Amino acid sequence: MNKALIEGLVVEWIKEAAQKIKDSFQNELEIDQKSGRNDLVTNMDKETETFFVEKIKEHFPDHRVFGEEGIAEKLEDLAGVVWIIDPIDGTLNFVLQQRDFAISIAIYVDGVGELAYIYDVEREELYTGERGKGAYLNGKKIPPLDKNKTLDDLLLIINQSTLYHYPELRKAISRSRGLRLQGAATLEFMSVATGRAGAYVSRTLQPWDIAAGKIIAGEIGAIVTRMDGTEIDMLTGGTIVVASPKIHEELVQNYLS
Ligand code: IPD
Ligand code: CA
Ligand code: CA
């Protein structure tokens, strides 16, 4: 796999897709509900996924693509080179606020995360990560997380439904510096990766919500697991805890078991 070639193309495609999404603000969106009124899909989610699938298939016909909107294939395994795409993460924000949404692309080889890209479209912030080579924000290296920080030092990101199902987490919030929510899993991962928050905890994330974030946050020294501390596979949805090591341990041992 020629990583430099992929990197050049992906960055070009992301910028092109982001411009199309921004241009769509002038037009009326076609909006459909998926599982409910807060789970939306727009014509731009579908068009953006189609755009990436076509580009990948044109340049890398033997790579497989796995995406949220079902335009890409549904996978049974992670053999070979697999692209995992969330064309718009934070669709509700995109529809209601036109900000705090992102394009997320990850490349896994035989199940191992190799390359990751998360683009905050409105802020024009591109987070990138490569296994073993660190992570970058708009080309600038993101410093490693401060491993000495504990729950008492930082903010937490936990959504309402997670708090409802895991009420012990309220005690963790009381110990922390407070609660914040952005409403886009990929950007919430990046808040932890850049030290703006100590942890992000969610009970219902899909592989496309976490595939890129896991690589980038991992490069900065964050621990990313299920709530019971077990490894995540990129084929099934489930719970997630992303945090710096001490905070991850505190959450898993004291507030999630
Ligand atoms: C959603 C967002 C949201 C998270 C949901 C995701 P989508 O992704 O990341 O923050 O709480 O679980 O499904 O549907 O906007 O791509
Ligand atoms: Ca999405
Ligand atoms: Ca998503």
Q: What is the pLDDT of residues 62-80, one digit of tens each?
A: 999 999 988 877 788 999 9
For residue 89, give the CATH number of its domain. 3.30.540.10
Average pLDDT over residues 37-47: 89
How much is the CA Rg of the chain, to the nearest whole Å?
Answer: 17
Whether 245 is in a domain gets the answer yes
- Which atom of ligand 1 lies closest to the CA of 68? 16
For residue 151 the two structure tokens come to: 């729950």
- At 87-139, the pLDDT tens digits run 999 999 999 999 999 999 999 999 999 999 999 999 999 999 999 999 999 99
Do 115 and 16 share a structural domain? yes
Do 167 and 92 share a structural domain? no
**Overall pTM surpassing 0.85 (yes/no):** yes
pLDDT band at 15 (very low <50, low <70, confident <90, very high): very high
> Measured from the CB, is residue 162 less than 6 Å from ligand 1?
no
pLDDT band at 168 (very low <50, low <70, confident <90, very high): very high
> Measured from the CB, is residue 185 less than 6 Å from ligand 1?
yes
- Report how far ligand 1's centroid is from the alpha carbon of 1 (Å): 30
Residue 122 assigned as binding residue: no
- Report how far ligand 2's centroid is from the alpha carbon of 150 (Å): 32
Whether 170 is in a domain gets the answer yes
> Measured from the CB, is residue 69 less than 6 Å from ligand 1?
no
- Report how far ligand 1's centroid is from the alpha carbon of 182 (Å): 10
pLDDT at position 231 is: 95
Whether 146 is in a domain gets the answer no
Do 243 and 175 share a structural domain? yes
pLDDT band at 35 (very low <50, low <70, confident <90, very high): confident
Instruction: Give, for 55, the enclosing helix (H) or strand (E).
Output: helix 43-59
- Report how far ligand 3's centroid is from the alpha carbon of 103 (Å): 9
Ligand nearest to the CA of 38: 1
Domain that holds residue 233: 151-256
- Rounded to the nearest 10°, the torsion over CA 119, 125, 127, 128 is 80
Do 93 and 51 share a structural domain? yes
Do 130 and 42 share a structural domain? yes
- Report how far ligand 3's centroid is from the alpha carbon of 206 (Å): 7
Phi, psi of 174 (to 5 degrees): -60, -35
> Measured from the CB, is residue 103 less than 6 Å from ligand 1?
no
Q: What's the angle, vertex CA 44, arms to CA 5 and CA 13, rounded to 5?
A: 10
- Which atom of ligand 1 lies closest to the CA of 45? 16
Do 124 and 169 share a structural domain? no
In this structure, which residue's CA is closest to atom 12 in ligand 1? Answer: 205
- Report how far ligand 1's centroid is from the alpha carbon of 205 (Å): 7
Do 9 and 125 share a structural domain? yes
Distance, CA of 220 to chain centre: 15
Distance CA 206, CA 185 (A): 10
Residue 209 assigned as binding residue: yes
> Measured from the CB, is residue 213 less than 6 Å from ligand 1?
no
| Residue with the two structure tokens 């903010």 | 155
Considering its fold, how many domains does the chain have in total?
2
- At 217-232, the pLDDT tens digits run 999 999 999 999 999 9
Pick from 205, 206, 210, 214 the residue to mutate for probing ligand 1's pocket: most ligand atoms within 8 Å of its CB: 205
Q: What single-letter amino acid sits at 105?
A: I
> Measured from the CB, is residue 159 less than 6 Å from ligand 1?
yes
